[in-house]
Structure 1
Amino acid sequence: MRIALLQMTSGIDPAANAATLSAAAREARAGGARMLFTPEMTGLLDRDRERSRGRLRDAAHDPVLRAARAAAAEQGLWIHIGSLALSGERADGRLVNRGFVIDDRGMVRASYDKMHLFDVDLPTGESWRESAAYAPGDGTTLIDTPAGVLGLAICYDLRFPALFQALSAAGAEILALPAAFTVPTGRAHWHTLLRARAIETGCFVVAAAQTGIHEDGRETYGHSLVIDPWGEVLLDMGDAPGIGFAEIDLARIADVRARIPVLAHRREIPAPERAK
């Protein structure tokens, strides 16, 4: 099955980002795709939290989610919104970073809140504290789609393989990993970690990414990828925004898992005892 990925440079205006998503849905459908994948923070990317809070809404009133649902219905296309920043979802006032799967009738079929929050200090001087504004999710999500059984994750989740082992054990065939990776961490780890997640689970990996220099001044790595269960890169979109296409052949999963049956060979790992 043919899928499309949107690699974008999200700005601080949700309306402009919604227009980009709607145009991408039209292009994806015209290119023969049955499902479109978008990056983390499709709706708004703004490190100025005071400014961004004035533009954020809950899921019921989010204009980008509304535009995506309309585009899905108009184009007869499934859409995975990599994530949206949402306010008003929690009693404690914290934001959530939530991905959505929308079917070809415009109905929201699944959602997932990012579990692992990016709290790091990089050697370049960049410092990120997602937990200062966001609450972590506490559940995992699988959803049947035309492309296959899709397991949802977001960006920094990539570094925690237990999540993907759980998704593949539960039946995932495709792992969605939308991201807004920094340039230093992207150069060092993006391709390596995504290929590892594909190989160790015997799944396809679809990773739609943010790219370029954004209105808020940050720079993201790009290189949206589609990787097959053997770890072969089927699509690498480089650093330019736009639409990319790839073919998903689920028969490849059975072939790879028959060669190296890692799922069948998994064992529960006991806590180590320290030798004396």
Structure 2
Amino acid sequence: MKIAAVQMVSGPDPVVNLARARHWLEQAGRQGAELVALPEYFCLMGQADGDKLALAETPGDANAPIQRMLSQAAADLGLWLIGGTLPLRTPSAERVRNACCVYAPDGSQVARYDKIHLFRFDNGSESYDEGRVLEAGNEPVAVQAGPLRVALSVCYDLRFPELYRSLAPVDLISVPAAFTYVTGQAHWELLLRARAVENQAYVIAPAQGGLHQNGRRTWGHTMIIDPWGVVLGCLPEGEGLVLADVDAKRLGEVRRQLPALQHRRL
């Protein structure tokens, strides 16, 4: 099954961001991808954290612009679509969920995962605290996308291997992200390859990658990684696609040669 990861450099205008996302989904479809994943916050990289509150949609609203675009793109292009993340309303007017919605080739929503682990970072010169506007999810989610069992996660979740262990075995781990430049440079590839190796699964990691209009710089390096930890493709910076094949034979080969998943004791 051919899969594609989209890298973007999203800005504060959702209309522009949705158009760019649709463009890259179409390009992926033309290149034979059957499953495509968008990055975290593909729909908005705002000037302030609170911008997400104004853009937030009601869960399951088929007429809401972001959810409508994702559903229509999946149906029009006949794709399994891992829709990066979008802000979904909660009962609190001051908090949203950072949600990853998955759509089938008929346009139906088949899964939703809300980011569980909220990022906080302060190195003295830059700081982030997602908890100011985000409400954490609490439920690990895997979804069957055609022949693939896919574990859903978002960005900072990557640092918590127990999330993926709770869903094992899976064929593919999805990690849409907007890693900071500082943390990405140090840890992004290291963590992605570790998750692939320890779970003996492919990893698809679509990212934000570049200098955004709000002044933030994201690390990028969108990747697809095989179950032996081999990087099959990487886009360091800027908009574009990374494509690769998920090979069931390769998955089986790795798990037969080193049956680590069968050796688990904890």
Q: What TM-score bracket applies, with the shorter chain setting the length?
A: over 0.9
TM-score normalised by the chain length of structure 2: 0.95
Which of 81, 84, 88 aligns to 1:82? It is 84
* Alignment gaps of 5+ in structure 1: 269-276
Q: Distance in 2 between matches of 1:134 and 1:153?
A: 15
Contact 2:56 / 2:96 at 8 angstroms: preserved in 1? no
Which of 220, 223, 227 aligns to 2:221? It is 223
Comparing 40-49 with 94-103, greater Cα deviation is found at 40-49
Contact 1:148 / 1:250 at 8 angstroms: preserved in 2? no
Q: Secondary structure at the match of 1:213?
A: coil
**Deviation of residue 133 (structure 1)?**
0.9
Contact 1:3 / 1:34 at 8 angstroms: preserved in 2? yes
**Deviation of residue 16 (structure 1)?**
1.0
Q: Find the counterpart in structure 1 of residue 66 from structure 2.
A: 64
Q: Distance in 2 between matches of 1:36 and 1:246?
A: 11
Q: Secondary structure at the match of 1:111?
A: strand
**Deviation of residue 28 (structure 1)?**
1.1
Comparing 54-63 with 233-242, greater Cα deviation is found at 54-63
Q: Distance in 2 between matches of 1:52 and 1:89?
A: 12
Match runs of 1:17-96 below 5 Å = 17-59=17-59, 60=61, 62-86=64-88, 88-91=89-92, 93-96=94-97
TM-score normalised by the chain length of structure 1: 0.91
Q: Distance in 2 between matches of 1:194 and 1:99?
A: 18
**Deviation of residue 91 (structure 1)?**
4.0
Q: Find the counterpart in structure 1 of residue 119 from structure 2.
A: 118
Rg (Cα) greater in structure: 1
One-letter code aligned to 1:27: Q
Q: Find the counterpart in structure 2 of residue 271 from structure 1.
A: none
Comparing 38-47 with 219-228, greater Cα deviation is found at 38-47
Contact 1:17 / 1:64 at 8 angstroms: preserved in 2? no
Residues 238 and 147 of structure 1: is their aligned pair in 2 closer, same or farther, counting only changes over 3 Å?
Answer: farther
**Deviation of residue 34 (structure 1)?**
0.7
**Deviation of residue 134 (structure 1)?**
0.5
Q: Distance in 2 between matches of 1:237 and 1:50?
A: 30
Equivalent pairs, count? 264
Q: Distance in 2 between matches of 1:200 and 1:34?
A: 26
Contact 2:71 / 2:107 at 8 angstroms: preserved in 1? yes
Q: Secondary structure at the match of 2:83?
A: strand
Contact 1:56 / 1:62 at 8 angstroms: preserved in 2? no
Match runs of 1:183-262 below 5 Å = 183-262=181-260
Q: Find the counterpart in structure 2 of residue 128 from structure 1.
A: 128
**Deviation of residue 47 (structure 1)?**
4.6
**Deviation of residue 114 (structure 1)?**
0.3
**Deviation of residue 92 (structure 1)?**
6.3
Q: Distance in 2 between matches of 1:149 and 1:50?
A: 34
Contact 2:12 / 2:47 at 8 angstroms: preserved in 1? no
Identity score, percent: 38
One-letter code aligned to 2:41: M
**Deviation of residue 240 (structure 1)?**
2.3
Q: Distance in 2 between matches of 1:160 and 1:98?
A: 18
Q: Secondary structure at the match of 1:41?
A: coil
One-letter code aligned to 2:261: L
Q: Deviations over 1:57-76 (max 9, x none)?
A: 22325312211111111111
Contact 1:180 / 1:220 at 8 angstroms: preserved in 2? yes
Q: Secondary structure at the match of 2:9?
A: coil
Q: Distance in 2 between matches of 1:54 and 1:141?
A: 27
**Deviation of residue 211 (structure 1)?**
0.7
> CA RMSD of the aligned region, Å?
1.4
